[in-house]
A = this chain, B = another copy of it.
Amino acid sequence: MLQVHVVNNGVPIYVQIRDQVLRAIGAGSVRPGAQLPTMRQLAVDLKVDLNTVRHAYDELEQTGAIVILRARGTYVAQNPPRMDAAQQSQRVQALAEQAISLAAAAGVDAVDVAQAMLQLTKRQGARR
């Protein structure tokens, strides 16, 4: 079950939706082929405009994370764009360094963050 909620933080609503869906997909809590909430449904649930949800979904489709089928609904993409091994590990390294940098900037132990990431992915993976 995809649980999205929005807050008035100054972060644009469509960004909150986009990132939460992205995170759910990346963590495996929604699987490829699974149907996402319809734009209207999500708009009603979040008390948000239809176009705002559309904005989020559009960006998700452009990154290949989801597939939008007219009149049928939106679904998690079957094969999220993958890279070859070299690019993959290079990307992993870059992301790891970026995350460490972010943690340092926040005055947080990167180890704690890494462990929290493992916990999160495990927890969300177990709920499938």
Contact = CB atoms under 8 A, between A and B. Distances in A.
Given A9-B15, A126-B111, A106 B95 contact: yes
Nearest to A115: B114
Interface stretch (A33-41, A42-50, A117-125): A117-125
Chain A interface size, as a band, is 35 or more
A80 B107 contact: yes
A102 B113 CA distance: 14
Given A4-B105, A95-B102, A95-B116, 11 more contacts: A5-B102, A10-B12, A10-B15, A19-B101, A26-B104, A26-B105, A27-B110, A30-B107, A96-B114, A110-B121, A111-B118
15 contacts: A10-B15, A11-B12, A23-B97, A23-B100, A26-B104, A29-B104, A80-B107, A83-B107, A92-B113, A95-B108, A96-B114, A99-B99, A99-B117, A111-B126, A114-B118
